[in-house]
A and B are shown apart, each in its own frame.
Chain A
Amino acid sequence: MPADVTALELAGLRKSYGGQAAVREVDLRLPRGALLTLLGPSGCGKSTLLRMIAGFVEPSGGDIRINGRSVLALRPERRPTAMVFQSYALFPHMTVFDNVAFGLRLRATPRVEIADKVRRALALVRMDAFEARFPSELSGGQQQRVALARCLVVEPEILLLDEPFGALDRHLREEMQVEMRKLQRQLGVTMVVVTHDQEEALVLSDYIAVMRAGAIEQFAEPIELFDRPTNRFVASFMGVSNLVDGIVERDGEVSFRFPGGARLPVVSDLPAGPATLALRPEAVRLCAPDDAACRLTGTVAFTSLVGSRMSCEIKVGETVVTALVPRHGSGPAIGERVGMALAAEQLQLFAR
């Protein structure tokens, strides 16, 4: 994939409704053939951003460029984008075939070519056996495949998907995510997906933009985002459940002081002062308190079984650190004093 060609560029894009900012100063570049996920809680402006790219919402400022050309002056029907709606929005009075053919007929494509392209698009999403059905005769997953085929067939520069898997049950959702990703790789189509599900974002994306209150908090590749979130919000949204507010101290060596006194040596550029420690529960390894690898000690307050692993709540001073550890026998006993070995690269510190 020619990663150096920018397919989509947003420059200082913003939108406000009566003084209330829905999207503020968003800048990003997406290489051609890449899949970007806009990830964030509801009301963070991700859908508004998507609808601005599609042309349904007029920006209050900034620019949207597709393949280097501004599309701001273009109405939705003229933009080289196609959108899969959350509700699929299939045309209820048309068959599956006619739904998929709709965009081609508007482009005055010859009949034979239409039939050929429609059948190929339907085969791509494994819906070729259903071309004579009406949308009301299809399941949710099938409707979604048709909605996808209807967009793919017009060969858009950018394919937009608004919460595409939100209405599907968990099993089908996971299956469709993987299928979508394979299809996207196979066709090399540039895609922007809106979701509030971080696992979905990790499965699908080449890039993830985590959004909050109309702004992008972090734009990164999934692995980077997972391992090195740059602030507390992103860390929490990416499933880091240990977030401890403490103080960075610099007296010869750098360390993080837990509320209640415990000290943890850290590697950080942060100046001395209030900071937040982020630590994934699965990054904690339990050891004996006198082990050489031990960095922190605490008392086991609660344990519970999570399949092959065990979740331990360990009291460190005034806070609790959760550790998800492999189960050995019955695991640590409640009240037992344990040590924790923490890999330095799995710790994140943010200024508060």
Chain B
Amino acid sequence: MRGGAMPLLMLPMAVLMALFFGAFAVFGFVSFLQPASGMPGYQGPLGLSNYLRFLTDPAALAILGETIVFAIVVTLASILLGYPLAYIMARSPYRVVRSLLLGALVLTFLSGSINRAYGWLILLGRRGVVNDALLALGLVDRPVALVYNWTGVFIALLHFTLPYFALTVFGSIRSVPVQVEEAARDLGAGPLSTFFRITVPITVPAIISGAALVFSLAISAFAFPLLLGGGRVRLISNYIYDQLFVAFNLPFAAASSTIFLVVAIATLCAFFWLEGAVTRRRAAKRGAA
């Protein structure tokens, strides 16, 4: 390709990258400046004061910690719920079941977050369908608080992330030949044993990819905590938003963002290291056997 069209073709790409990452670079640079008093601007001198403020503020660190724990919980719930769902979609002998589940999942995937948040408000509110049903069945005496708290955000966010996880592992489960599962049955493994010894281990790389995807979505959640958290649930995105549009402290918002970005990237790297470790463990076992 030397001397060919390659440099020319790379030009638009380079412009695009420069624009996208240029914005990040500017924001990152601003994080080292000071807020201009009384207005949404910034001024010199350069320094680490914004980072120090975040890392020494217990409230800010608590929000970051809560966000990470919450994202991990949502990720685990997506795995526990999404894997069986994907398995049924991939392996059910009934076409209707497969199409129905896949259809519902894709529909969820395509509908907007805001619509769904308001939908959950109607379903989970004090006078919502779920509470009406619980009261009518006599399971509870008073309406249960299902929204404007962590529960509501968790339910809505899980609903949002589930299709991402299920669709990621669905393809992987589908690519495991049925004969491989049959071979396990034939050699004496029951259905559960086959599931846990054969299907799940073969699809571990897809589980990790799906989990990384869900984790990235959960850790950066903004609309669901805003609309369903009732002010009580604030994740890191909401915190940054407030610094930017309520406190008008642009440099501090930038520093908070950068810290969040570093933590998120580090966690994703951990996921990919884990995926590599699974492969390495298989390779190591080969060396030892």
Contact = CB atoms under 8 A, between A and B. Distances in A.
Given A76-B182, A91-B180, A95-B289, A103 B202 contact: no
Interface of A: 54-56, 75-79, 81-83, 85-87, 89-93, 95, 97-98, 102-103, 106-107, 131-134, 150-151, 154
Contacts of A91: 180, 183-184, 198, 202
Given A132-B287, A134-B282, 16 more contacts: A76-B185, A77-B185, A77-B186, A77-B187, A85-B179, A85-B182, A87-B177, A102-B197, A103-B187, A103-B188, A106-B189, A107-B188, A132-B289, A150-B183, A151-B187, A154-B187
- Counting chain B CB atoms within 10 Å of each CB, the highest count among A54, A77, A83, A150 belongs to A77
Nearest to B283: A134
A76 B204 CA distance: 26
A149 to B, nearest CB: 12
B187 A106 contact: yes
Interface residues of B, number: 23
Contact of A134 (B180, B190, B286): B286
A128 to B, nearest CB: 13
Nearest to B289: A132
Contacts of A107: 188
A87 B289 contact: no
Contacts of B186: 54-56, 76-77, 79, 81-83
A77 B182 contact: no
A97 to B, nearest CB: 5
Contacts of B193: 106
A79 B185 CA distance: 10
B183 to A, nearest CB: 4
A88 to B, nearest CB: 8
Contacts of B201: 93
8 contacts: A54-B186, A75-B185, A83-B182, A83-B186, A87-B179, A89-B182, A92-B180, A150-B183
A97 B289 contact: yes
A137 to B, nearest CB: 9
B183 A83 contact: yes
Closest 3 CB pairs of A and B: A103-B187, A89-B179, A89-B183
Contacts of A151: 187
B95 interface: no
Contacts of B282: 93, 134
A131 B182 CA distance: 23
Contacts of B184: 91, 102
B244 to A, nearest CB: 47
Nearest to A54: B186
- Counting chain B CB atoms within 10 Å of each CB, the highest count among A85, A86, A91 belongs to A91
A89 B289 contact: no
Interface string B175-216: 001011011111111100100011001101000000000000
A93 B197 CA distance: 10
Contacts of B179: 85-87, 89
Contacts of A154: 187-188
Nearest to A103: B187
B190 to A, nearest CB: 6
Contacts of A77: 185-190
B285 interface: yes
Contacts of B190: 75, 77
